[in-house]
Structure 1
């Protein structure tokens, strides 16, 4: 199975005070045990890095860079996905829906990925299954 990994999963794993921390650790461990293909976008990496640095500091960034990123297949957002995402984002007109979210959904659709490791309900709203 191929699983898309969202920023919310990385944050929950790395932040021991996050309400989803234990679930995130258990899910990540199971994904690795099952040798699932783990995919995310470069936009997710940027968003995750900024939030991890701001909330948890540079030690957590090092863990993210050294322990997580090498296990991921990174899909690079190209102009087509970006423009499709911007159009969807503006059409949605929702303050809590981000450009990173909509480019993630578009990437998942283009790659035929139906499952996300995410604690963000926007994935469910878009018709994807969430591991948690």
Structure 2
């Protein structure tokens, strides 16, 4: 099942664009983590916010200078997900098979990474590079 995808560009980064465009929207919104989406739709019963892995990855890639070992751990875990996606794309796997493979291979990686991030969250100052990457 292919879901329709929409990329929308707005000149300003205030709430007016997303608020108007997504007023009647009910589904999944993938964002770059910009706080406007969370403030508008974070508690919405019919909208599920997801973040872009590339944006999350970039924070840790930039953080290698601050804490190389821990940043590289996160990057290696994310790389496992990228490799799985590449394999599924390469093999033209349909959505049913993708669902099975994601549950089998990606879900454990994401769950372990989520636990690791929760554990490490308070080990860093909030304004530090690693603190910001984890947040």
TM over 0.5: no
Q: TM-score, normalised by structure 2?
A: 0.24
Structure that is richer in strand per residue:
1
Larger CA Rg, structure 1 vs 2: 2
